[in-house]
Structure 1
Amino acid sequence: MEFVIEPKPPFDFQKMMQRLTVTGKTHVLKLNEQFTEYEKIIRIEEIPCYVKVVSSGTVTNPILNCKAIPLIGRVSEEAVKKKIQQLFSTEVDLSPLYNHFEEHEKLVGVLQRFEGLKLLTDTDLFESIVKIIIGQQVNLTFAGTLTERLIELAGDKVEVEGSTFQVFPTPNSVAKLEYEDLRELQFSQRKAEYIIDLAKLIAGGNLDLESLWSISDEEVLQALLPIRGIGKWTIECLLIFGMGRTDVLPAADIGLRNAIRQVWKLDEQPSEEEVRMLAQDWTPWRTYITYYLWESLNQTPVVVDHT
């Protein structure tokens, strides 16, 4: 099936794709050199589908040409379209954010620099939460290495359109692993336990991640906090990078606090409480302001010739 999606502008597809290369999150997807094409195997209604998204528009007049091929079974075009809209945050209108803060002394520069950069969320919540757990207390490079090793160990490989794609493992496949299987890949004992035990909860029917879509941020927190290895920061990152929620403030995050210190030119890193005070007027855009502040630390290169 093929169809067109017109995201709400501004929408900078190239910046979104380029960010994936900066953060090393390209293990199970393919991008072209111009950052205008995205290909990945995505599960939609439990059906694995090859999805290709090509940007043919501009930042102010964005157009996404989409193609999907179910690898088994059937899936509706409506379901595929809804999934792609969710993944690429196409229906999020950022213009009110930019308009509201266009005269903000500290934020205007950051918002202008990353204008059109929307959240590209993970394709399923299990993939998202596992990658967040892997990233706890390690640098991006090593987290990427561990993620790649897990995919090699427990994921599948499929051939589509003449290319080989790796597929992120399912909860069922991870639940069959032993802790030692991950320890041999340089996972810590705790992370091995957290990831495999989480997979067993899902595979055994004791945790339904899909049910989280219909509840509030606070309810998601309360649902996941009792699970070993999943703290508040992990859940806040899941809300942002897994679910695309737009008003999440991970005030304790060291990266956010470092970015605020830099942008506000503070002598010391602000405390969690000071971040909350500072961010009182960020609602309902706390996620995106946090996201852009994080990006300001990464010094993401700017793609040119795309307006």
Structure 2
Amino acid sequence: MKFVIEPKPPFDFQKMMQRLTVTGKTHVLKLNEEFTSYEKIIKIEEVSCYVNVTSSGTVKSPSLNCKAIPLNGHVSEEVVKKKIQQLFSTEVDLSPLYEHFSKHKELVHVLQRFEGLKLLTDTDLFESIVKIIIGQQVNLTFAGTLTERLIELAGEKVEVEGSIFQVFPAPNSVSNLKYEDLRELQFSQRKAEYIIDLAKLISEGTLDLESLWEMSDEEVLQTLLPIRGIGKWTIECLLIFGMGRTDVLPAADIGLRNAICGVWKLAEQPSEEEVRVLAMDWTPWRTYITYYLWESLNQTPAVVDHT
């Protein structure tokens, strides 16, 4: 199936794709050299689908040419289109954000620098939360290495139109692993336990990640907090990078606090509470302001997780 999506402008597809290479999140997807094309195998209603999204428009007049091939079942064009709109945040209108802060002394330059950069969310909530757990308290490079090793160990490979794609492992595959399997890949004992135990909860039907879509941010927090290895920071990152929620403030995050320190020219890093006070007027755009401040440091979040 083929169709066209016209995202709400401004929408900078190339900036979104280029960011993936900076953060090392390209293990299971393919980008072209011009950062105008995205290919990945994703799950839509339990059906594996090859998805190709290519930008043919501009930041001010964006257009996405989409192609999808269901590989092991049937899924409607309407459902696929909705999934791609969700992944690329095409229906999020950032114009009010830019207009509201156009004269903000500290934020205006940050917002101008990253204008059109929207969230490209993870295609699967399990994939998202596992990558966030892997990223706890390690640098980007090592987190990427661990993610790649997990994919090689438990994921599968699929050939579509002459290209081989790696697919992020499903909960069933990860739940069958032993802690020692991940320890041999240099995962810490705790991370091995967190990831495999999470996969078991999902495989056994104890945890339904898809049900999170119907919940408020606070309900998601209360649902996931009791799970070992998942703290507030992890859930906040899931809300942002997995679910695309637009008004999340991970105030304890070190990267955010460092960025605020630099942009506001503060003498020292603000505390979590000081960040919350400072960000009171950011609603309903706390996610995007946080996202752009992270980007101003050319880094993804530095973990402070309270597990």
- In which range does the TM-score fall when normalised by the shorter chain? over 0.9
Residue aligning to 1:305: none
Residue aligning to 2:175: 175
CA distance in 2, matches of 1:299, 1:59: 23
CA distance in 2, matches of 1:162, 1:262: 47
Residue aligning to 2:305: none
Residue aligning to 1:91: 91
Which residue identity lines up with residue 54 of structure 1 in the other structure? T
Which residue identity lines up with residue 84 of structure 2 in the other structure? I
Which residue identity lines up with residue 60 of structure 2 in the other structure? T
CA distance in 1, matches of 2:122, 2:145: 18
Q: Secondary structure at the match of 2:182?
A: helix
Superposed, 1:95-174 pairs within 5 Å as 95-174=95-174
CA distance in 2, matches of 1:82, 1:199: 26
- List alignment gaps of at least 5 residues for structure 2: 301-307
Deviations 1:78-121 (A, max 9, x none): 11001000000000000000000000000000000000000000
Question: What is the CA-CA distance between 1:18 and the residue it aligns to?
Answer: 0.1
Q: Secondary structure at the match of 2:206?
A: coil
Instruction: Point out 4+ residue stretches in structure 1 off by more than 3 angstroms.
Output: none
CA distance in 1, matches of 2:226, 2:255: 25
Question: What is the CA-CA distance between 1:161 and the residue it aligns to?
Answer: 1.1
Which residue identity lines up with residue 102 of structure 1 in the other structure? S
Question: What is the CA-CA distance between 1:299 and the residue it aligns to?
Answer: 7.5
Which residue identity lines up with residue 234 of structure 2 in the other structure? T
Residue aligning to 2:303: none
* 1:285 matched to 2:285: yes
Q: Secondary structure at the match of 1:295?
A: helix
- List alignment gaps of at least 5 residues for structure 1: 301-307
- Seen in structure 2, the aligned counterparts of structure 1 residues 63 and 12 have a Cα distance that, compared at 3 Å, is same
Q: Secondary structure at the match of 1:193?
A: helix
CA distance in 2, matches of 1:220, 1:271: 25
> TM-score, length-normalised on structure 2?
0.97
Which residue identity lines up with residue 153 of structure 1 in the other structure? L
CA distance in 2, matches of 1:265, 1:129: 33
> TM-score, length-normalised on structure 1?
0.97
* 1:236 matched to 2:236: yes
Q: Secondary structure at the match of 1:294?
A: helix
Question: What is the CA-CA distance between 1:164 and the residue it aligns to?
Answer: 0.3
Superposed, 1:131-280 pairs within 5 Å as 131-280=131-280
Q: Secondary structure at the match of 1:298?
A: coil
Cα RMSD over matched residues? 0.8
Q: Is the 8 A contact 2:23 2:299 kept in 1?
A: no
